[in-house]
Structure 1
Amino acid sequence: MAAKRPDLVTIADVARHAGVAVSTVSYVLSAKRTISTATRERVLASIATLGFRPNAGARALASRRANVIALVLPLRTGMHLPIVMQLMTAVVTGARGHDHDVLVMTADEGPAGLRRVADSSMVDGVVVMDVEMSDPRVPFLRELRRPSVLIGFPADARGLTCVDLDFHGAGARCVEELVALGHRRVALLGAPAVVYARGTGFAHRTRAGFLAAISALGVSGVAEPCEEDRSSVSATLRDLFRAHPGTTGIVVHNEAAVEHVLTLLPSMGRRVPRDVSVIAICPDEIAARTRPALTSVSIPAEELGRQAVSLLMAKLSGATPSEATLLAPALTVRASTDHQR
């Protein structure tokens, strides 16, 4: 009889070859129970002879885990896909570092999707993205037997494990920088209107931080949603300067609109940074490649993904991690800001 391909050899084949129970092989693989030296060596010899490669199924048998986590990432209107992909890649890379695979769920199924995957025993835990202030998934996550971590914060985060950039602090930090440069009239061009309408947490928190800072620092400011296409950005800027002609500092929290803002301002007679200083809340690679390069508060997608996975793995191991992890906003000064003259 022809030998099996190594990738087709099962844990049962190893047990049969070594003359032991399947559970004994799993204990040798997982090291979760003491096995006699002679038996262990016999099992290892069979593994070597058959070319057995422990896979997800074998690990699951050994640990009663699927070694898979779910990433719940509903793709919705107004989401900036490059950022989404960075976060997803960071979660996948982090999971692989813990010997886990990732099941990505992109359909906008709400609590029903979470229930379906949790009830199937396909995953050990769940990472949830695009969190809303009044997220309908939150009550189910509190009752879910499997551990979960949210990248983002709902309005009420009690009983949940959440990690995110401190977007409230990011909005405030941008205002503080502009005011330190002498600007007295500032504006926030935020996410598309649909993002605010569905209550997405990061957008509302940035806006709240921006408004709180202008009030605390005694400057004038306005916060407006901003669409992503060039014509809409142009209309938003024209409306802004028509209603608030003295605006000299702009914060952009809309990655897709950033380059449009920078190219449209000179056509409106406002040079960057001589006439208008611009700060963005966006990934560093976006800020560094624009002309002029943007002063920015970085969105640390890689760190967010890594921390989310680490928190989930800690919960899987029985630990009780901190419920709230907020990454402090870091502002990098580049060429798009200048002292108001």
Structure 2
Amino acid sequence: MATISDVARAAGVSISTVSYALSGKRTITASTRARIEDAIRELDYQPHAGARMLAGATTNILALSAPIHTDGHLPTHMRFVTAVVDTARRYDYDVLLLATDDDVSGIRRVAASSLVDGVVAMGVKAHDERVEIVKRAALPAAFIGVSGEHGDGVACVDLDFERAGRLAITTLADAGHRTVGVVGHPPTYLERGTGFVQRFNAGLEAEAAARGIRIDVVSPTLARGDAERAFDDLLDASPEMTAVLFHCNEPVVEAVLRRIRERGLEVPTDLSAFAACASYDTSHLAVPLSSIPLPLDQMCRIAVESALRQVRGVDALGVELIPPVAEDRGSVARPRR
């Protein structure tokens, strides 16, 4: 296997000159660069992954900033990761996973190096520190989620969560429901400023207020038994509740559906149920649920393609919000009382 020393000897230059050609840190003459390029091709030299092959060339690696939090649902998290990797592979790109839970340390490392061509970020906060990091580094980047009110000057793609919140309430209100129990994500999501939860809640609350719908909210964790206890509290506090709206991860939905049966209730005869922004297939649940699906694969594809357009020098900034669509699986009916 050829080394950088072999390339330097073949090109008749010093090792440092080859290094400058690979990193682009210093200007070298066109004739010298041509000799180095010829030597690299003839020797089939493969530079270390941490350096760009030549100034202005690409590494064919994207970083995926995907912080893992203890309150998250790992299978859902990995669906995002897999969707990003699948899209990147179609463009002959590899993906470097940055999974530290502090959001910023991994992205700072890659922004300070030439290891990757661009970044895709998920788990986006309402005001995300990673935005300024990629902007300062002039690093092509796309966010699966929206930072700030209008994306803070980077490329963002997401479901329109505010409209999804409104659509969820509209669906239940149009069916005649006046008191709706909401099973939401754990409170820690809001504590760390998770953007999609804030946006969904804003739409939900605004539409409920406009239509005179009472909403009662519980926010169970993924801990064993917590979802069942939260539903008991919800039903006991609001005996007039005729519908339950899920905006939470799949294990919580499954647990609450079991608890509904244990309490002698049937969906939708006794209690309507609706899943908002579902990252899972609601048709496979014990009770198939009407839902607003989360277009996860579409979001990841758009983000990867946006980052790669920026790598090619094409302006791909701005916010793209995907309109929510409701799917009817028969779990919402008019209340009997």
* Counterpart in the other structure of 1:254: 248
Give, in angstroms, the shift of residue 238 of structure 1: 1.6
* Counterpart in the other structure of 1:241: 235
* Counterpart in the other structure of 1:279: 274
Decide whether aligned partners of structure 1 residues 276 and 230 sit closer, same or farther in structure 2, where only a CA change above 3 A counts: farther
* Counterpart in the other structure of 1:173: 167
* Counterpart in the other structure of 2:302: 307
Q: Name the CA distance, whole Å, in 2 between partners of 1:104 and 1:168.
A: 29
Q: Name the CA distance, whole Å, in 2 between partners of 1:62 and 1:120.
A: 13
Give, in angstroms, the shift of residue 308 of structure 1: 0.3
User: Residue 102 of structure 1: which of 95, 98, 106 is its match?
Assistant: 95
Give, in angstroms, the shift of residue 252 of structure 1: 0.7
* Counterpart in the other structure of 2:113: 120
CA contact (8 A) 2:99 2:106 kept: no
Query: Could you list the per-position Cα deviations for residues 269-305 of structure 1 after superposition, in whole angstroms to 9, with x for gaps in the alignment?
Result: 3221111111113546530111211111111211111
Give, in angstroms, the shift of residue 113 of structure 1: 2.6
Query: Could you list the per-position Cα deviations for residues 156-208 of structure 1 after superposition, in whole angstroms to 9, with x for gaps in the alignment?
Result: 42212111111111121111111111111112211012112111111121121
DSSP 3-state at the match of 1:123: coil
DSSP 3-state at the match of 1:297: strand
User: Residue 291 of structure 2: which of 296, 303, 312 is its match?
Assistant: 296
The share of aligned pairs that are identical, in percent, is: 36
Give the residue type in structure 2 aligned to 1:307. I
Q: Name the CA distance, whole Å, in 2 between partners of 1:123 and 1:173.
A: 39
DSSP 3-state at the match of 1:142: helix
DSSP 3-state at the match of 2:185: coil
DSSP 3-state at the match of 1:137: helix
CA contact (8 A) 2:52 2:115 kept: no
* Counterpart in the other structure of 2:145: 152
* Counterpart in the other structure of 2:22: none
User: Residue 135 of structure 2: which of 142, 147, 151 is its match?
Assistant: 142
What do you get for the CA RMSD once the two structures are aligned? Answer: 3.0
DSSP 3-state at the match of 2:148: coil
Decide whether aligned partners of structure 1 residues 271 and 201 sit closer, same or farther in structure 2, where only a CA change above 3 A counts: same
User: Residue 317 of structure 1: which of 303, 312, 315 is its match?
Assistant: 312
Aligned residues: 309
Give, in angstroms, the shift of residue 55 of structure 1: 9.8
DSSP 3-state at the match of 1:271: coil
* Counterpart in the other structure of 1:88: 81
Give, in angstroms, the shift of residue 219 of structure 1: 1.4
DSSP 3-state at the match of 2:104: helix
Q: Name the CA distance, whole Å, in 2 between partners of 1:93 and 1:316.
A: 18
Q: Name the CA distance, whole Å, in 2 between partners of 1:115 and 1:284.
A: 29
* Counterpart in the other structure of 1:35: none
CA contact (8 A) 2:52 2:114 kept: no
CA contact (8 A) 2:111 2:133 kept: no
Q: Tell me the TM-score normalised to structure 2 length.
A: 0.82
The answer on 1:130 being equivalent to 2:130 is no
Decide whether aligned partners of structure 1 residues 204 and 118 sit closer, same or farther in structure 2, where only a CA change above 3 A counts: same
Decide whether aligned partners of structure 1 residues 10 and 180 sit closer, same or farther in structure 2, where only a CA change above 3 A counts: farther
Give the residue type in structure 1 aligned to 2:97. V
Decide whether aligned partners of structure 1 residues 250 and 80 sit closer, same or farther in structure 2, where only a CA change above 3 A counts: same
The answer on 1:221 being equivalent to 2:215 is yes
* Counterpart in the other structure of 2:258: 263
Give, in angstroms, the shift of residue 12 of structure 1: 11
Give, in angstroms, the shift of residue 212 of structure 1: 1.1
DSSP 3-state at the match of 1:164: strand
Decide whether aligned partners of structure 1 residues 96 and 59 sit closer, same or farther in structure 2, where only a CA change above 3 A counts: farther
Q: Tell me the TM-score normalised to structure 1 length.
A: 0.81
DSSP 3-state at the match of 2:308: helix
Q: Name the CA distance, whole Å, in 2 between partners of 1:208 and 1:228.
A: 24
Give, in angstroms, the shift of residue 154 of structure 1: 2.2
Decide whether aligned partners of structure 1 residues 97 and 137 sit closer, same or farther in structure 2, where only a CA change above 3 A counts: same
- Unaligned regions of 5+ residues in structure 2, if any? 11-17, 19-37
Decide whether aligned partners of structure 1 residues 309 and 12 sit closer, same or farther in structure 2, where only a CA change above 3 A counts: farther
CA contact (8 A) 1:253 1:282 kept: yes
CA contact (8 A) 1:230 1:260 kept: no
Decide whether aligned partners of structure 1 residues 323 and 220 sit closer, same or farther in structure 2, where only a CA change above 3 A counts: same
CA contact (8 A) 1:233 1:257 kept: yes
- Unaligned regions of 5+ residues in structure 1, if any? 1-7, 23-42
CA contact (8 A) 1:188 1:210 kept: no
CA contact (8 A) 1:174 1:210 kept: yes
Give, in angstroms, the shift of residue 92 of structure 1: 0.9
Q: Name the CA distance, whole Å, in 1 between partners of 2:134 and 2:241.
A: 44
